[in-house]
Structure 1
């Protein structure tokens, strides 16, 4: 009849087997799992986004304590005391004409007032290279050399791309102790295997003390407002092999 409601029978069996209870538990479990996922994944997603933005800007994070580069500012993350003309993106086919040669550790290295290193007053390292192909060439010559000198740790911490490989490199070098530099010849030529505003690979040609030439390469990344060496299987250079002047821009005879 109208107005009468049919009385439901109370559910039978243990409460945890009842349909309503199971549905509620499943829903709460779903909410809890999604909350945990958001809690864990949220910072990672934010970090990845921030990392991508910084990589595009050439900035990878705060400077290490004691970094002579001091405070970075500007859109490209350059230090305040490092300003270069980055307009010339032409890959050099011949040696720059404004280069002078200065001794660093056991080798003569090229120094350009336009391409760098512009800061040669720091005791531990020379730095501040132009964000140009020629700037990458200058960095490839200099950075591995000064990482082999007495102040190698400062240069390694500031001029090698940070990460596990750099940590292992520093640890191994510290354990090996200081060793006198060996004569490896002279820089006589270079070529750019690849270049972009964020990365470069520079091939170097050196004379061999016993005669002939050796060829090796240095990989670079633009980080923290300057060029830094990207280790290749834990090494500053690729494995050296016999080389020839063909395909290289030659430096010429004047090296100071």
Structure 2
């Protein structure tokens, strides 16, 4: 069957993105996540924390697209940041519109963008991006959340319609750790708690690689899938507890 005859969610590039952004929340589970792509780096050791650099003039391209203040070149996030938790899709998401973001909220609050150029901003962006993918109405816009690259190019050339399909499986963030952080790219390891379906009661590590582009954090996905593989967890050991439910 050709791609033209297949539903968008069975086309190879959409499988990559759907598993990374949506299937992990709507019923894919750890077996599907790790089975379709293995990721690149399985080392989840957190990077040492450091004081962010202070500068009176930001480098070119470092400014937030919506004017959020804050700029850090190194990780200084050692505790859970302050947040107001709101439901987006089926996930509780951290929000702080004046500090970490989102600075832009659309479609009655279900599609949020513009996060601060800081470790907290990268963390909030990672959770909010997963939450956006848990609402099937956001499917046509998920490409807007991706970093530049071949996957984004193909999705822009073959846009997907909204979907009304769902699953009993649900996921909520339970904790996080910053595996790496710089002013250009960060890896935010989210510990996700799953309920329902075959993943009921599981904790799963979902590392999100985000890149600073066009004044916001964007998700990095390549043609082989996630740069860092998801993995099952036995506990929250090594993670900073961070949850809204």
TM range (shorter): 0.5 to 0.7
Q: Does 1:250 align with 2:236?
A: no
Contact 1:82 1:119 in 2 (8 A): no
Matching residue of 1:138: 124
Where structure 1 has 5 or more consecutive residues not aligned to the other structure, the ranges are: 1-55, 59-75
State the aligned residue count: 179
- Larger relative contact order (CA 8 Å, sep ≥ 6): 2
Contact 2:143 2:155 in 1 (8 A): no
Where structure 2 has 5 or more consecutive residues not aligned to the other structure, the ranges are: 1-58
TM-score normalised per structure 1: 0.60
Contact 2:220 2:227 in 1 (8 A): no
| Matching residue within 197, 200, 222 for 2:186 | 200
Secondary structure of 1:206's aligned partner: strand
Q: Which has the larger radius of gyration?
A: 1
In the aligned structure 2, how far is the partner of 1:194 from the partner of 1:165?
23
1:155-234 residue pairs with structure 2 within 5 A?
156-169=142-155, 174=160, 177-180=163-166, 182-209=168-195, 210-233=200-223
In the aligned structure 1, how far is the partner of 2:159 from the partner of 2:229?
18
1:177 CA displacement: 4.8
In the aligned structure 2, how far is the partner of 1:236 from the partner of 1:159?
14
Over the aligned positions, Cα root-mean-square deviation in angstroms equals 2.9
Secondary structure of 2:170's aligned partner: coil
Q: Which has the higher strand share?
A: 2
> Structure 1 240/191 Cα, relative in aligned 2: closer, same or farther at 3 Å?
same
Contact 1:120 1:127 in 2 (8 A): yes
1:175 CA displacement: 7.6
Contact 2:74 2:182 in 1 (8 A): no
TM-score normalised per structure 2: 0.63
